[in-house]
Amino acid sequence: MNIFKNKFLMASILFLAALFLFNYFAVIIKSSSFENKLDAIMPSDKENFNFSKAIFNVTKLVDKDMDLNWCQTELANLTHDLKAEIGDEANPELRVKIFNNFMFKEKGFHYNERAKNYFMYKIPDKDVSNDEFMSYFTVSSLLKTGEGVCLSLSVLYLMLAEQLDLPIYGSILPGHIFVRYIEDGRSRINIDPAGNGLEFYHYDEAFKIDLNSANGSIFGKKASNYSVLGTYIYNLSLICKRMKRMGDAEILLKKAAEINPGDADVLYELGNSLYEKGKYKEAAEQYAESINLYPDHSYAYSGLGACLFMMNQYDDAEKNVNEALRLDKNNLHAQYWRDRIFKGKKQ
């Protein structure tokens, strides 16, 4: 009987071990497949590539239900109609006026009010499904519903500009993006798609960024379409993370950091990824670099404080959390760590 029990126990252990190895290698193979697919659709020439095609292809990797042919046809139809309206107009101001009227009035593209409330913490995270969250960011959803956020609206604006060979470029900010009409020998025209084409020129003050900074930050600078693609990929990584597709999220995040090493938001999210793995020293380095690029990044300070606390550096942890709260008194993450640090120092 004992021999039978021992054989049964051994067989069970071997079965469980085999099952674990199967699942382990299945995850690796799946991640490897995703990474290979991503690499296959990335532009080989960063300066000269089909931006619209790249955006559609990376979207399809994440949005499995996306109808690629329909999206391509819809973009072609929009391009045809916009081209007819702009015609031979050469004046930049009038071109932009026609473009904005077409996109925001005639076609009705606009900022998703529910998304705005969600990002302002007026709607609980649990009340937003994964599909709804994804719809905020993807161009495929914007084309279907007419609703998007600053990212999807700006990306569509750039896609149409590319089709018509208009000198319009992106400009990336902390948690925001807008576009600019820039023609040699003329003043630039700022266009904020999140505000129905609002012409605004005080982003440096609104977002507390130094436009003349030489620290490597991409914020507020003229962004190439390749850089905007990187920002789009970064947001796709957030979608995958929310959907618990952690392997895909990490691959997309690393690609975004490779494209935009000067994006403080991307480095902050890299810090989060490392922190969740218990790699506090490495996470702290990412948070610190995020702060170097954007000194007003409250959540990077609280992330750094959390890492320092986990490494038993309580005084430095407290300094960073206090700085996070000075920058944003409503930073819930910093509030949590302030209380935890206080309790830790008392013990």
Assign residue 347 the CATH number of its domain.
1.25.40.10
> Is the Cβ–Cβ distance between 79 and 159 less than 8 Å?
no
The predicted structure's pLDDT at residue 31:
55
Answering whether pTM is above 0.85, one says yes
Where among 262, 294, 312 does a domain terminate? 262
24 assigned to some structural domain: no
Q: How far is Cα 78 from Cα 75, in angstroms, rounded to an integer?
A: 5
On whether both 243 and 345 belong to a single domain, the answer is no
Residue 7 has pLDDT above 70, yes or no: no
Residue 9 has pLDDT above 70, yes or no: no
6 assigned to some structural domain: no
Where among 262, 297, 320 does a domain terminate? 262
Domain count, the chain: 2
Where among 227, 262, 297 does a domain terminate? 262
> Is the Cβ–Cβ distance between 110 and 212 less than 8 Å?
no
pLDDT tens profile 155-174: 999 999 999 999 999 999 99
219 assigned to some structural domain: yes
On whether both 220 and 311 belong to a single domain, the answer is no
> Is the Cβ–Cβ distance between 215 and 293 less than 8 Å?
yes
15 assigned to some structural domain: no
On whether both 182 and 84 belong to a single domain, the answer is yes
On whether both 219 and 300 belong to a single domain, the answer is no
12 assigned to some structural domain: no
pLDDT tens profile 266-323: 999 999 999 999 999 999 999 999 999 999 999 999 999 999 999 999 999 999 999 9
The predicted structure's pLDDT at residue 13:
62
Please give the residue range of the domain that contains residue 92: 51-262
Q: Considering only CA atoms, which of 255, 271, 265, 264 is closest in space to residue 306?
A: 271
On whether both 64 and 169 belong to a single domain, the answer is yes
On whether both 62 and 192 belong to a single domain, the answer is yes
pLDDT tens profile 244-281: 999 999 999 999 999 999 999 999 999 999 999 999 99
On whether both 67 and 119 belong to a single domain, the answer is yes
On whether both 179 and 232 belong to a single domain, the answer is yes
pLDDT tens profile 15-40: 555 555 555 444 445 557 999 999 99
Name 194's Cβ contacts closer than 8 Å, sequence gap at least 6.
Answer: 111, 149, 150, 153, 154, 176, 178
The predicted structure's pLDDT at residue 113:
95
220 assigned to some structural domain: yes
Average pLDDT over residues 222-235: 98
Amino acid identity, position 55: I
44 assigned to some structural domain: no
> Is the Cβ–Cβ distance between 178 and 171 less than 8 Å?
yes
Amino acid identity, position 129: S
On whether both 255 and 287 belong to a single domain, the answer is no
pLDDT tens profile 34-79: 999 999 999 999 999 999 999 999 999 999 999 999 999 999 999 9
276 assigned to some structural domain: no
Q: Considering only CA atoms, which of 56, 84, 235 is closest in space to residue 156?
A: 56
Average pLDDT, the chain: 92
On whether both 170 and 308 belong to a single domain, the answer is no
On whether both 160 and 299 belong to a single domain, the answer is no
On whether both 290 and 257 belong to a single domain, the answer is no
